């Protein structure tokens, strides 16, 4: 468990920097720590092996994606440095996924739940501290990206788990902190992500409206209304970003750039047979155009663009990316089905179910977020995407084992059997 914790923590203080920056060498240190801890984990992992449905497919799909992306990049004479930088997050994702599956299937779940909650908080806090250390200040009037971290989706998922499993006063503090971070970020992507996650609870919504939840939710609405009335910081920025201008001369800049880059990647993916089969490579450049209101012109991404689902096909084609995209879609459907069933369950006191739900919500949140960005283009976000997928796949496998049912058993879908 300690080695696993160090492996996750390796990217906790990671930050964005250009390859030629004087401090880019620090990221090499983070990678070395991660690799050493991953190797140590494999060596020390002597627990019995059990079948985990979906584990092999995930590892195989991610591995095939990396191989195809490299092969395509080599055929196009792309920079090896750029390809390595872009393949690291996917490697981190699949390695963390494997380790999480093994930990969930063999370790004490209460300890794991507490450890991951602390790690998630650590990532969120470190995101603020790293930005403060680099910039020397925190500008609360413009914190759109500064306070966000790779664990943002995990934090949003944890908030929903607290609603689903019941909240103590301490947990309400975590919930308020999480919502405050999203409010300050003025990032519509995570607002959509949170709404997408909560949709999975609709089938059992009537069970969630306890008296305390209603009272505290009402108090939160009153505070937001009061802040809007007095013009508190943040409210005006939200209304400005949520209101999309309608005239041709005033375009929603974020929407315009995302759409233009997605169209570019789709056109490049379908350009010829080679692109369709093995993509354009891990270091392929994309192009997206900027609207006149922010100066016009064009900008570029390398590898992953503003839509990960399209980026996977753009980088590795159908042979390398099609399987990974299909696996991600299957996992999202499975997660929705699990959350819909869990929301109707009256007794939710199992740490195993909590971890499964947390992982399922991370998968759902990642799939929503990846329609607007690319998690596999971010190292610390890839840690939590792999971690969430591992919680769901490993937790489900442990459930099968402890309840002595097969992967096709209706007990998993209905959650009819108790978890020992």
Print burial letters for 61-93: b (CB count within 10 Å at least 16), e (below 16).
bbbbbbebbbbbbeeeebeeebbebbbbbbbbb
Q: At what angle do helices 152-165 and 351-369 cross, to 10 degrees?
A: 140
Contacts of 168 (CB under 8 A, 6+ apart): none
User: Residue 412: which of 53, 51, 48 has the closest Cα?
Assistant: 53
Please compute the mean of the pLDDT values over residues 203-215 and round it to a whole number. 58
Mean pLDDT estimate for the chain: 78
User: Residue 371: which of 325, 340, 330 has the closest Cα?
Assistant: 325
Residue of 223 and 51 predicted with greater confidence: 51
Q: pLDDT per residue over 363-385, tens digit each?
A: 998 888 888 888 898 888 899 99
**Residue 250, pLDDT above cutoff 60:** no
- pLDDT for 5 equals 95
CA distance 276 to 273: 5
**Residue 272, pLDDT above cutoff 50:** yes
- pLDDT for 55 equals 93
Residue length of the chain: 420
CA distance 177 to 162: 13
CA distance 221 to 212: 14
CA distance 63 to 323: 10
Q: What is the DSSP string of 239-273?
A: HHHHS---STTS--HHHHHHHHHHHHHHHHHTSSH
Q: Where are the beta strands (DSSP E) in 273-351?
A: 285-289, 298-302
Q: pLDDT per residue over 137-176, tens digit each?
A: 766 555 555 556 677 788 778 777 777 776 555 455 555 6
- pLDDT for 241 equals 55
Burial class, 57, CB count within 10 angstroms (exposed 0-12 / middle 13-18 / buried 19+): middle
Q: What is the DSSP string of 368-387?
A: HHTTTS-GGG-HHHHHHHHH
CA distance 420 to 402: 7
- pLDDT for 46 equals 87
Q: What share of the chain is helix, strand, coil (3-state, %, to 5)?
A: 70, 0, 30
In this prediction, residue 405 has a pLDDT band, given cuts at 50, 70 and 90, of low
- pLDDT for 219 equals 62
Q: pLDDT per residue over 12-64, tens digit each?
A: 888 776 666 666 678 889 999 999 999 999 999 988 888 888 999 999 999 99
Please report which residue ranges of 136-210 form alpha helices under DSSP H.
152-165, 169-185, 188-199
């Amino acid at each position: 468990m300690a080695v696993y914790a160090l492996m996750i923590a390796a990217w906790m203080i990671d930050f964005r920097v250009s390859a030629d920056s004087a401090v880019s060498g620090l990221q090499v240190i983070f990678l070395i720590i991660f690799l050493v801890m991953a190797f140590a984990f494999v060596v020390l992992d002597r627990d019995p092996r059990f079948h985990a449905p979906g584990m092999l497919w995930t590892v195989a799909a991610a591995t095939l994606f990396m191989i195809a992306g490299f092969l395509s990049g080599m055929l196009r004479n792309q920079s090896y440095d750029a390809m390595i930088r872009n393949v690291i997050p996917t490697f981190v994702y699949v390695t963390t996924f494997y380790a999480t599956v093994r930990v969930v299937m063999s370790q004490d779940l209460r300890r794991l739940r507490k450890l991951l909650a602390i790690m998630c908080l650590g990532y969120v806090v470190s995101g603020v501290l790293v930005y403060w250390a680099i910039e020397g200040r925190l500008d609360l009037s413009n914190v759109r990206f500064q306070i966000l971290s790779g664990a943002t989706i995990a934090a949003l998922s944890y908030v929903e788990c607290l609603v689903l499993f019941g909240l103590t006063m301490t947990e309400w503090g975590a919930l308020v902190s999480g919502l405050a971070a999203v409010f300050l970020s003025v990032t519509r992507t995570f607002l959509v992500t949170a709404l997408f996650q909560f949709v999975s609870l609709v089938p059992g919504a009537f069970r969630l409206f306890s008296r305390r939840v209603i009272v505290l939710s009402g108090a939160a609405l009153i505070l937001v209304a009061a802040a809007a009335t007095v013009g508190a910081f943040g409210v005006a920025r939200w209304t400005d970003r949520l209101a999309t201008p309608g005239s041709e001369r005033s375009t929603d800049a974020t929407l315009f750039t995302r759409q233009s880059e997605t169209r570019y990647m789709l056109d490049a993916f379908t350009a010829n047979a080679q692109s369709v089969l093995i993509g354009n490579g891990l270091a392929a450049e994309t192009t997206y155009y900027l609207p006149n209101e922010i100066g016009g012109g064009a900008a570029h991404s390398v590898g992953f663009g503003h839509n990960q689902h399209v980026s996977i096909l753009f980088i590795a084609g159908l042979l390398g990316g099609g399987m990974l995209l299909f696996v991600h879609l299957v996992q999202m459907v499975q997660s929705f089905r699990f959350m819909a069933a869990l929301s109707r369950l009256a007794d939710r006191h199992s740490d195993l179910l909590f971890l499964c739900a947390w992982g399922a919500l991370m998968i759902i949140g990642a799939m929503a977020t990846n329609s607007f960005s690319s998690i596999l283009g971010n190292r610390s976000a890839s840690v939590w995407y792999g971690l969430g997928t591992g919680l769901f796949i490993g937790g489900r496998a442990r459930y099968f084992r402890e309840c002595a049912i097969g992967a096709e058993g209706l007990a998993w879908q209905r959650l009819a059997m108790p978890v020992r």
